[in-house]
Amino acid sequence: MNACSNTFNQQLQSAWASQGSMLCVGFDPDPKRLPLALQGKPEGVFEFCRDIADATADLVCAFKPQFAYFASQRAEAQLEKLIRHLKDKYPHIPVILDSKRGDIGSTADHYALEAFERYGADAVTVNPYMGFDTIEPYLKHAGKGVIVLCRTSNPGGSDLQFLNTASGEPLYLHVAKLAAQKWNTSGQISLVVGATYPEEIAKVRAIVGDMPLLIPGIGAQGGDIDATVNAGRITGAPGTGMIINSSRAILYASTGNDFAQAARVVAQSTRDALRAAAAK
């Protein structure tokens, strides 16, 4: 089986091992923050992300384009082109489309086609709060990753995710249990847990065993790397189990023409800090 026909989970396992990295570089291309030379250029968004991908590809276990940044500036064709570039040049690195979809099953069928057929992503983020029938359509795409929001990194995540359910546990832990114990019969599901809440990462890890966790919130959101890695670690398998995302801190390391080299410097120090934390 070559890298392209591997499942998302197999790709991740290989990437953690061969890249020696749990860093995921996120693509959130804000048109106002692109280097001046790329602002307003017809394929400026694509070129910006491509150059950062090419400068960091040896440092990551995954790439994560954020859909809204492309759609809001009518750059969906550039997103398609970016993912094609990533899959052609780096078939061993999984691509997560971060679109946080959630809708009734008949509509979710089309969101799944959008993510996996139109964009060719290896995994997609989904919102579970409409229930399992809204997640099932993604699972019909064998081998593709379905990454379910559990305990998000934003402060307002507590508004709903911390509400106690009838069993007395907070909603996010109920989601973790459903995901691990009921929904994951095909092994395609992972969870999103924010680096800004390491205590909750540890509680989720205790429920889900070795399920991969997508962890945004280091870098611009200030999540602590040591606390995050310690909370999400899998006993006996250091350096695995986590896809730890940083977007703005890497993308906007420089506003000049040296943006890609500057992104590499920050990505490398972040990768190294994650490695050091995993080795403790």
Ligand X SMILES: O=c1ccn([C@@H]2O[C@H](COP(=O)(O)O)[C@@H](O)[C@H]2O)c(=O)[nH]1
Residue with smaller CB distance to ligand X, 153 or 184: 153
Q: Is 56 in the site for ligand X (CB under 6 A)?
A: no
Phi then psi for residue 98, to 5 deg, are: -95, 95
Instruction: Give the residue from 107, 101, 156, 153 showing the smallest Cα distance to 129.
Output: 101
Using CB under 6 A as the binding rule, whether residue 220 contacts ligand X is answered as yes
Nearer of residues 6 and 228 to ligand X, judged by Cβ: 228
Question: Which amino acid would we find at residue 194?
Answer: G
216 forms part of the interface with ligand X (CB under 6 A): yes
Please say if 100 is a catalytic residue: yes
Q: Among 49-57, 127-135, 211-219, 256-264, which window interacts with ligand X (CB under 6 A)?
A: 211-219
Contact between 153 and ligand X by CB under 6 A: the answer reads: yes
Q: Using the rule CB under 6 A, which residue among 221, 228, 240, 270 binds ligand X?
A: 221
Closer residue to ligand X in complex, CB, 66/184: 66
Specify which residues 223 forms β-bridges with: 218
Task: Tokens 């989904």: give the residue.
Answer: 126
Sign of CA dihedral 248, 253, 256, 261: negative
Q: Which of 41, 81, 100, 177 is catalytic?
A: 100
φ/ψ (deg, to 5) at 95: -115, 125
Half-sphere exposure of 143 (CA within 13 A, CB side): 13
Distance between CA 8 and CA 186 in Å, rounded? 12
Q: The tokens 């998302």 sit on which residue?
A: 8
Site string for ligand X, 175-194 (x = CB under 6 A): -----------------x-x
* 270 scored as a contact of ligand X (CB under 6 A): no
Taking residues 229 to 258 in sequence order and writing x for each that binds ligand X by CB under 6 A, - otherwise, the string is: ----------------xxxx----------
C-alpha 116/C-alpha 60 separation (Å) is: 21
Stretch that binds ligand X, among 130-138, 162-170, 179-187, 217-225 (CB under 6 A): 217-225
Among 29, 35, 44, 219, binds ligand X (CB under 6 A): 219
For helices 44-56 and 76-89, what crossing angle results, to 10°? 20
Q: Give least dist CB 68 to ligand X, A.
A: 8
- Return the residue of 46, 47, 57, 98 that touches ligand X, per CB under 6 A: 98
Q: Strand ranges (DSSP E) for the chain?
A: 23-27, 62-65, 96-101, 123-126, 145-151, 189-193, 213-216, 242-246
Any idea what the Cα angle at residue 219 is, between residues 213 and 223, rounded to 5°?
A: 60
Distance in Å, CB of 142 to ligand X, minimum: 25
Positions annotated as catalytic residues are 100
Binding region for ligand X (CB under 6 A): 26, 28, 66, 98, 152-153, 192, 194, 216-217, 219-221, 245-248
